[in-house]
A and B are shown apart, each in its own frame.
Chain A
Amino acid sequence: MSLLPAGVRRFFRLGRATDVEAEIDTELAFHFAQKVEALVARGMSADAAREEANRQFGDLRAAREELLRVDRGDAEARRRRDWFGDWAVDARHAVRGLRRTPGMTATIVVLLALGIGANAAMLGMLDRLLLRAPPHLADPDRLARIAITTQRPGRPAYARTLASFIDVEDYARGVPALTVAGYAHPRPAKIGDSDEELSRSLVTGRFFEVLGAPPALGRTLTTSDGQGPPVAVISDRFWRRYFGGAPSALGATVAIGRVVYTVIGVMPLGFSGAEVNVADAWTLMEHDAGYLSDWRTTRNTVWLEIIGRLNGPAARAAAIAQIEVVRRTYLATVGRADVTETAALLSIIPGRNSTFDRAGVRLAVAVGVVSALLLLLAIANVTNLLLVRAVARLREYAVRAALGAGRGRLMRFIVTESLLLATAGGAAAGLVAFWAGRALRSLILPEWHWATPPLGLLPALFAAGTALLIGIGTGLVPGVLAARESALGALRSGVQRGRGARGRVRSALVAVQVAVSVVLVAATGLFVRSLHRALHEDHGISVQQMLIAEVSFDGSGDARIAQLGEVLDAVRRVPGVAAATVTSAAPMRRLDFSTLLVDGRDTTLFGMSYTVAADFLERSRLRLMSGRGFTPRDLPGSERVALVDSVLAARFWPGQSPLALCLYVQKRDAGCARVVGVVAHTRANGLQEQPVPQFYLPLAQHADRADYALLIWSSGSAETLIEPVWRAVGRHITNYPRSRVLNFDTMLEPQVRSWRVGTILLSIAAGLALLLSSVGTFAVMAFSIRQRAHEFGVRRALGAQARHVVGLVLGEGVGVAGAGVVLGLVAAVASSRFAAPLLYGTQPRDPLVLAGASASLLVAAVAAALGAARIALRTDPRQALQAD
């Protein structure tokens, strides 16, 4: 009978499966020997006994065959059962072992859950943002955005996805269907009786046809609508919000600006045109009088994007060649043969283009990289913790090896343990991915409709696959080491000695952690600087504590000016208002464009136009660079005047003063507006815009507009002024909606959000990274010190001072961390190219940031090493020496 229970025997695999055949023969030989002996004892001769034994046995060969068959089948079944049984035994052992160290187990599971979960969430998001075409488009692979890169001699090349539409219509040889879509801009709107704001995108009649997007309700816009009354197609979200999702929305009217549109169709949920561009409504160019009538022919359409549908792969090359020919011909006719332009057809799937042009998309990429780094950090840490665990249990493994457990068996046990941990981590990661996915989506692109659930199939598969790989991978490292150590017979106290291979592996892991942390901390630093720069950006005018009140007037020009003056006076009398002035287009709210011409040049420029009050410069603190600003003497009867910004001056009159020269707005016969001053460029549309030339006209000479914006500066908080300003304006304009009074900071927030969110997420990631790498450093140091208690004991016994011991430990810790910092700096500098487009006004190799990141990691390493040194000092020399 066996002394050991079956489970233990199996666990250590005592008594290996032996040769079935030999066993049968031994058994039968014994049988015949006994039988013959017994028969001889009864008086038979040896030969007769052998014959009798054979007779009694029957057909020996057939019986032996039968026994072999039965035993082989049995051995096979047993092997199979043992194999599964071993897993069960291993799993039970592992669960018991993990329960004994709940702190470490929980740490590992949480690390894996965060690492895998964050990545799964990001993967789900990036998949949707970058790797897929926007939803509801037919055959999106055949859609293309037309991009033209312009190279002027002596200037950096710049790319744009735009050109004049009339030119592009000529390209049509390779591209059978073209359309134009304007970026969606918020516009004041009237739905029924209520004043609202909606985000509208201007398109051409073929927009929906080219995209192949069918409506959910009603019909889409067509080219023939251009000749009829104004019509609009609205988004699902807008339809549900304002029409309660009722079919009666068709035929309802929506006034955008001063144009009244009839709703003819509703797009399906999630439709956003050809890119991540959320619009509430789509209307035709032809119906919007507020925009240029010459959008077709102007060569400076900075707000339009041209999308084409290709016939097939061959059409691509033909289209590119055709576009380049058209551009070359145009450039030759305007005498700019020195300018070279190249065309490209970009995929509408963002990830296929080399540039990502949405802040949210870029941020998502950044967060994706950060979460990948965090996963790397988590893996390094988990491997390290498992190593600590394996090394601490070398003695146990040695006992197992001594009892007959093979190396493979030992490795299998350790891998079973890490697989269990990874499985738990992976399951928890699913939850993290779900919640983090939701949080990240609303944080990074809150206005975007997500057609997919936060935890889709792809992220779930990713989480499961990564967990499996991590489970096997992180188990193999300590498994191999443990198998090797136990083979060396670590049963003796030799376990206590030396750093050896596992020490090197652990140090390398810590160095990697430090390196990753350096990168993360540096990235955080860069985002903090970007956010700071974005918040304190020079907007050209003073935007501190600024409010915008948008107003519209009916009636004739003179009546409007008089009314505007009354409103302005009323606002100025509101307590807390420090200053107020008038402009036709408030920054970040409205863009008005005009074609500009000057004497002696054929080319036109496209400029942003502002009609402003005489005191605009003074109130807004817009910098005057030369000449004079407007004065109350610039009246309708006097000479027409204009101000230009530095960008316009440099484009039209490079190296020359524009003062006293003529500027023609729209067309030459509009008459000369004398340039009386040059002012600084202001930010009109976004923080990251390409500067577009700007010019200013005095309100008194150009009273033809109906819409104006009051810029109001508060002496205190801008937010508290919204209410009184609204009331003051409301006394002069009936039914004045409160939504038309805006705090500039609130308005700017979406633009700053990518850096703010980036700063928040990166700060969390960097904080975690710092913590993890410090803990990692400490764990390695503390462990190596415990292992070398003997050495430290001898040193202390030989009279080593405390500071020597501390110095030794510190040197070691800082050495490992230093290697990590160098590695991290190299990685940070090497990857700076990719970080640059994500930053704002900050160099990716900012020395201050890099130095700060390195310093913070080294300080953390010193702290960790000092903590470990305390353990070395507490070691009692006598105890350490007696342990041998």
Chain B
Amino acid sequence: MPADLDLFRGTLDMLVLKSLIWGPRHGYAVTAWIRDTTDEELKVDDGALYAALHRLQARRWVAAEWGVSDNNRKAKYYSLTSAGRRELKAQQVTWQRYSTAVAKVMETV
């Protein structure tokens, strides 16, 4: 097992924003998607993901609306706002430049 990655908050936000790029999702779907795509490599508590979702909502990057889930349960659906979409794009660019820079350093012998 690799060591747990200590993710800083900004990266978590970026992941959550990214999870909503294909349309509105409820909180459970967001947590499940992040677990599945990272193959549980990122050990993030579901509670922290919910906190991120609510924080993003307060910053108007994510909008929330109550709806009904596939199995007919009342669920809170989150969706990206246009501001959220812009934010995600910006964070992705920053992340790429950062990881490229880190990779360059690490690849030198």
* Chain A residues with a Cβ under 8 A of chain B: 1-2, 23, 26-28, 30-31, 33-35, 37-38, 56-60, 62-63, 66-67, 70-71, 73-74, 77
Contact = CB atoms under 8 A, between A and B. Distances in A.
Interface stretch (B4-12, B73-81, B83-91): B73-81
A34 B76 contact: no
Interface of A is mostly: helix
Interface in B33-48: 35, 45-48
A74 B27 contact: no
A35 B31 CA distance: 10
A508 B49 CA distance: 65
Contacts of A63: 45-48, 50-51
Contacts of A31: 27-28, 31, 46, 50
Given A26-B74, A27-B76, A38-B32, A58 B47 contact: yes
27 contacts: A1-B65, A27-B27, A27-B50, A27-B76, A30-B26, A30-B27, A30-B28, A30-B74, A31-B27, A31-B46, A33-B73, A34-B28, A35-B28, A37-B71, A56-B31, A56-B45, A56-B46, A57-B46, A63-B45, A63-B47, A63-B48, A63-B51, A66-B47, A66-B54, A67-B51, A70-B55, A70-B58
Contact of A66 (B26, B51, B69, B73): B51
B57 interface: yes
A74 B51 contact: no
A521 B58 CA distance: 65
Nearest to B51: A66
Contacts of B31: 31, 56
Contacts, number: 70
A69 to B, nearest CB: 9
Contacts of B48: 58, 63
B26 A59 contact: no
A41 to B, nearest CB: 12
A59 B50 CA distance: 12
Leading 6 A-B pairs by shortest Cβ distance: A58-B45, A63-B47, A74-B58, A34-B28, A58-B47, A57-B46
A537 B74 CA distance: 94
B54 A70 contact: yes
B28 to A, nearest CB: 4
B6 to A, nearest CB: 14
A67 B46 contact: no
A30 B75 contact: yes
Contacts of A1: 65
A23 B58 contact: no
Interface SS majority for chain B: helix
Scoring A37, A57, A62, A70 by chain B CB atoms within 10 A of each residue's CB, the highest score goes to A70
B47 A57 contact: yes
A258 B74 CA distance: 108
Interface in B56-103: 57-58, 65, 69, 71, 73-76
A63 B52 CA distance: 10
Contacts of A27: 27, 50, 75-76
Interface string B19-33: 000000011100110
A74 B57 CA distance: 8
Range of interface residues on B (Cβ < 8 Å)? 20 to 34
A487 B71 CA distance: 41
A204 B58 CA distance: 82
Interface of B: 26-28, 31-32, 35, 45-48, 50-51, 54-55, 57-58, 65, 69, 71, 73-76
Nearest to B31: A31
Q: Which of B26, B27, B51, B55 has the most CB of A within 10 A?
A: B51
Interface centre among A26, A59, A63 (most CB of B within 10 A): A63
A33 B69 CA distance: 12
Contacts of B69: 30, 34
B76 A30 contact: yes
Contact of B51 (A34, A70, A73): A70
A67 B52 CA distance: 9
A57 B28 contact: no
Contact of B47 (A37, A62, A70): A62
Contact of A26 (B55, B65, B76): B76
Contact of B54 (A38, A56, A59, A67): A67
A2 B67 CA distance: 12
A6 to B, nearest CB: 10
Contacts of B32: 34, 38
Nearest to B74: A26
Contacts of B58: 70-71, 73-74, 77
A30 B73 contact: yes
Nearest to B54: A70
A63 B44 CA distance: 13
Nearest to B30: A31
B46 A71 contact: no
B105 to A, nearest CB: 33
A59 B27 contact: no
| Max count, chain A CB within 10 A of own CB: residue among B46, B58, B65, B69 | B46
A66 B47 CA distance: 9
B84 to A, nearest CB: 15
B61 to A, nearest CB: 12
Nearest to A67: B54
A77 B45 CA distance: 28
A433 to B, nearest CB: 46
A66 B54 CA distance: 9
A93 B69 CA distance: 38
Contacts of A2: 65
A77 B55 CA distance: 13
A58 B46 contact: yes
B56 to A, nearest CB: 10
B23 to A, nearest CB: 11
A103 B32 CA distance: 64
B50 A67 contact: yes
Nearest to A71: B54
Nearest to A60: B47
Contacts of B75: 27, 30
Contacts of A30: 26-28, 69, 73-76
B59 to A, nearest CB: 9
A85 to B, nearest CB: 14
Residue among B35, B50, B65 with the highest chain A CB neighbour number at 10 A: B50
A15 B63 CA distance: 15
A57 B45 contact: yes
A71 B28 CA distance: 18
Of B45, B54, B69, B74, most A-chain CB atoms within 10 Å: B54
Contacts of B73: 30, 33-34
A616 B55 CA distance: 105
A80 to B, nearest CB: 13
Nearest to B59: A74
A63 B26 CA distance: 17
A66 B48 CA distance: 9
A28 B45 CA distance: 13
Given A26-B74, A31-B27, 15 more contacts: A2-B65, A27-B75, A27-B76, A31-B28, A31-B31, A34-B28, A34-B73, A37-B71, A56-B31, A56-B46, A57-B46, A63-B45, A63-B48, A67-B50, A70-B54
